[in-house]
Structure 1
Amino acid sequence: MTAPLVDIRNVSHRFGQLAVLKDVSLRIEPGSYTILLGPSGSGKTTLLSILGGFVTPSQGKVYIRGEDCTSVPPARRPTTTVFQDYALFPHMSVGGNVGFGLRMQGVDGATRAARAREALALVDLAAAFDKKPHQLSGGQRQRVALARALVIEPAVLLLDEPLGALDLKLRRQMQDELKAIQKRVGTAFIHVTHDQEEAMALADHCVVMNDGRIEDEGPPERVYARPSTRFAATFMGESTILSGTVAEAKGGTATVATPIGSVCVPGAAQAGAQIALAIRPEHLVLGANEGGVGLGMAKISDVVFQGSFKRVLATSTVDAALRFIAKAPASATVQTGDTVAISCQAGDMILLAN
């Protein structure tokens, strides 16, 4: 097995009495696009700050390219950070901003200018070299910050919610551009966000964090389709959660007693265990579904048209605590107040520890 580019080993950190990271271990491979995903307070930004050298962990080690960088200051480690507010110098030209890191390294003016122009061309801003930051749009300033980070050729580029200040259309455009730039330069990107759609659009390695710990990690397709924990199932996209007790388990199938009846699902479990069944919205069927698992009747409380589909919320008529979240075709004739049968395929139910 090849050595990882970044190896975080048993890192914990406290701010006073508050534990913000709890024994976190993570390996980042060269050339990967890693997303640290989680709600506010999950520890993702603190972990990024530790990687960038702005915070020294209370415990644990951080290795980059096989070297112990735990206590190495930001300017001496092979990382650069792109902050949410861009942190551009308003009095400097765009070219001056991009070349600033090279200037701190003692690179001569002609070489600085040439490399700054190359970096700006990489982000499609070659014509902005002599402009000031205030003359650029938000998306352009974001790309300048990216060029400034890339020009010093870091081993790892750290991005702290870089798209958070942009509007929806520009954010999606920048997602495409970030992914394309990362593929071109081959640098490992580690990107913090709380936006699940952003994570799925960009990552080839998704790390879901909660309460200072890693809940799940892997390719976003796997984390979404087969999350490891209940938290991951509800944070990485939406899920209907059905709680129950395993009544019987044999032959790779578990029979689960739930408030809406007995359900048989594929998966390994122990009889008597308290578990949860997660069902993604696209796997729920409104109406009769021959061959599927019946989940009873439900009353529709809300229907929201979202372009290619309708997002439907419904409450079980048997268990008022059970709320279904479904994606119905845009052409579906469902409306608020309807009572419909709900079902899904057994193989689409994800068995999780409760």
Structure 2
Amino acid sequence: MSVPLVDIRSVSHRFGQLAVLKNVSLQIEPGSYTILLGPSGSGKTTLLSILGGFVTPSEGKVFIRGEDCTAMPPAKRPTTTVFQDYALFPHMSVGGNVGFGLRMQGVDGATRAARAREALALVGLASAFDKKPHQLSGGQRQRVALARALVIEPAVLLLDEPLGALDLKLRRQMQDELKAIQKRVGTAFIHVTHDQEEAMALADHCVVMNDGRIEDEGPPERVYHRPATRFSATFMGESTILAGTVAETTNGIATVATSIGLVLLPGAVQPGANVALAIRPEHLVLGTNEGAVGLGTAEVSDVVFQGSFKRVLATSTIDAALQFIAKAPASATVQTGDTVMVSCKADDMILLANER
């Protein structure tokens, strides 16, 4: 069995009396693009700082390439970090910034310049070598910071919300570029964000964090379509959540008692268990659907046109606390105030045991 590139073992951390990481274990494979995803205060940035050597964990160990790096200073470990504010030296040229890490390693000037030019070419900025950072756009400065990190050939590149300061169009462009660069260089990237769309666009390994713990991890497709917890279902994209109790399970079919009636769906769960049923917006149908589970009627409270679809919010007429979130076709004629039937195929309902 191969040794993981990064092996985080039972890491906990406290700032004073505040526990920000709680017994976190995680393995990162070589060549992967891992996203640490979670809300503010979930512990994702602290975990990245521990990986980079800027914070020593209160408990637990961090191994990189099989070596215990827990107490190793940042300059000694095989990682580099790209910060949100880029942290470029304004008085240095772009080439000088990119070659700075090599200079600290004692690499001679000619070799530094050659390797800095190669790194800038990798990120599409070969012509910027002699410019100063203030002459570049935000997206270009971000690429310079990326080139500076990659030029020293780290085993792991750490990115702390690197696209947070960019506008939406540039952020999406940089997502495409980051993914392409990572595939070209083959370095493992570990990227912190709170943006679910960014996570799904970039990651091949998605780690959802909440309250200092890992809630869910795996390929983004699995985390989105079959989340492990209620928090994961609501943070990694939107979901309609139905709380219920399993009345009985027969031949792999669970009968769940909910506020809108009994719902039958696949799942082997102990009778009496409290569960949550999660439904993604694209799986909710406004109207009847042959072979689908009927979820009663709902009154439409809001319709937002979003280009390729309409985002529809509707309140159940059976349970006023239940709000449906649906994606309707852009051509749909649904309007605020309409009363509509709501349904969903049983296979598209996600059964989450141990409701949280």
Q: TM-score range by the shorter chain?
A: over 0.9
Deviation string, structure 1 residues 108-143 (Cα, Å, up to 9, x no partner): 000000000000000000000000000000000000
Distance 2:253 2:85 in 1: 51
Deviation string, structure 1 residues 158-210 (Cα, Å, up to 9, x no partner): 00000000000000000000000000000000000000000000000000000
What's the CA shift for 1:251?
Answer: 1.4
Distance 2:57 2:67 in 1: 16
Which runs of structure 2 are paired with 1:140-219 in the superposition (5 Å)? 140-219=140-219
Q: Which amino acid aligns with 2:33?
A: Y
For the residue of structure 2 that corresponds to 1:49, the secondary structure is helix
Partner of 2:59: 59
Q: Output the aligned Cα RMSD.
A: 0.4
For the residue of structure 2 that corresponds to 1:173, the secondary structure is helix
Distance 2:290 2:32 in 1: 43
Partner of 2:264: 264
Partner of 2:49: 49
Give the structure-2-normalised TM-score.
0.99
Q: Which amino acid aligns with 2:55?
A: V
Q: Which amino acid aligns with 2:147?
A: A
Distance 2:284 2:89 in 1: 51
What's the CA shift for 1:288?
Answer: 1.3
Distance 1:195 1:252 in 2: 36
Q: Which amino acid aligns with 2:212?
A: G
Q: Which amino acid aligns with 1:265?
A: L
Partner of 2:37: 37
Where do 5+ consecutive residues of structure 2 fail to align? none
Residue 301 of structure 2 corresponds to residue 301 of structure 1: yes
Q: Which amino acid aligns with 1:350?
A: I
Partner of 2:324: 324
Distance 1:351 1:290 in 2: 21
Query: Runs ≥4 in structure 1, deviation > 6 angstroms?
Result: none
For the residue of structure 2 that corresponds to 1:169, the secondary structure is helix
For the residue of structure 2 that corresponds to 1:265, the secondary structure is strand
Q: Which amino acid aligns with 1:289?
A: N
Deviation string, structure 1 residues 80-109 (Cα, Å, up to 9, x no partner): 000000000000000000000000000000
Distance 2:218 2:184 in 1: 23
Identical aligned residues as a percent: 89
Residue 117 of structure 2 corresponds to residue 123 of structure 1: no
Q: Which amino acid aligns with 1:292?
A: A
Distance 2:180 2:40 in 1: 28
For the residue of structure 1 that corresponds to 2:241, the secondary structure is strand
Partner of 2:224: 224
Distance 1:280 1:189 in 2: 29
Which runs of structure 2 are paired with 1:281-292 in the superposition (5 Å)? 281-292=281-292
Q: Which amino acid aligns with 1:177?
A: E
What's the CA shift for 1:250?
Answer: 2.2
For the residue of structure 1 that corresponds to 2:264, the secondary structure is strand
Residue 119 of structure 2 corresponds to residue 111 of structure 1: no
Partner of 1:4: 4
Partner of 1:72: 72
Distance 2:15 2:117 in 1: 41
